[in-house]
């Protein structure tokens, strides 16, 4: 796979400057594959037409039109992204960092995460149940604590997840 294909380029760059219709068609084809944050989509389009003069203004206008039409939404992207990362049993710290890297506004991230605030300890416990053997001694508890932290769980979530990991191999219900 060439670097162009890896970054999602579709064919050679069109000759001359793109029209608003060209940009919109490409943006819709990109949006058909997955949700994008507004600035993430704009960056993607700017990469596509990096060498075209005057494309910046057209791209900004097309992205704004798509946002006004509800075809691209930071809120929808954040909710979708959080759900996909929760299915991978990742914690909120890692999810927040990834959303920041994708230029999602802080207030959108906080409001999207608010809906899942009661799920994080359960996710940590689920991950432990899948990966940690029953009856962990202190060195192994420390090892799995570090792994939970690396997966993006907070100290409190990791400790509560470990507390629910019983020697019998079951997970205690949340309190």
53 shares a domain with 79:
no
Asked if 125 and 170 touch (Cβ cutoff 8 Å), the reply is: no
Q: Is residue 144 part of a domain?
A: yes
What pLDDT does 173 receive? 41
What pLDDT does 135 receive? 75
What pLDDT does 164 receive? 74
How far apart, in whole angstroms, are the C-alpha atoms of residue 162 and residue 114? Answer: 23
Q: Is residue 168 part of a domain?
A: no
Overall pTM surpassing 0.85 (yes/no):
no
130 shares a domain with 100:
no
Q: Is residue 156 part of a domain?
A: yes
8-state DSSP, 1 = -
Q: Is residue 172 part of a domain?
A: no
Q: Is residue 175 part of a domain?
A: no
Domain coverage including residue 155:
120-163
**What are the phi and psi torsion angles at 154 (to 5°)?**
-75, 170
Instruction: Give the bridge partners for 165, in sequence order.
Output: 171
Per-residue pLDDT of the chain (175 residues; tens, 9 = 90+): 444 454 555 555 555 688 999 999 999 999 999 999 999 999 999 999 988 888 889 999 999 999 999 999 999 999 999 999 999 999 999 999 999 999 999 999 999 999 999 999 999 999 998 998 777 888 888 999 999 999 999 999 999 999 877 554 444 444 3
Q: Is residue 170 part of a domain?
A: no
Residues in the chain: 175
Domains identified in the chain, total number = 3
What pLDDT does 167 receive? 55
What pLDDT does 9 receive? 52
Instruction: Give the bridge partners for 122, in sequence order.
Output: none
What pLDDT does 7 receive? 52
């Amino acid at each position: 796979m060439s670097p162009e294909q890896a970054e999602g380029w579709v064919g050679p760059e069109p000759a001359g400057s793109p029209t608003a219709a060209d940009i919109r068609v490409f943006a819709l084809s990109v949006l058909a594959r997955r949700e994008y944050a507004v600035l993430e989509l704009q960056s993607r389009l700017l990469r596509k037409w990096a060498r075209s003069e005057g494309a910046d203004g057209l791209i900004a206008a097309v992205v704004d039109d798509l946002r006004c039409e509800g075809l691209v939404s930071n809120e929808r992207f954040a909710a979708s992204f959080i759900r996909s990362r929760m299915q991978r049993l990742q914690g909120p710290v890692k999810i927040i960092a990834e959303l920041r890297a994708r230029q999602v506004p802080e207030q959108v991230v906080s409001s999207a995460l608010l809906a899942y605030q009661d799920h994080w300890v359960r996710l940590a416990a689920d991950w432990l149940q899948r990966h940690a053997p029953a009856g962990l001694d202190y060195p192994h508890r420390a090892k799995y604590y570090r792994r939970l932290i690396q997966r993006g769980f907070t100290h409190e979530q990791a400790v509560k997840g470990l507390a629910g990991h019983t020697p019998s191999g079951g997970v205690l219900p949340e309190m």
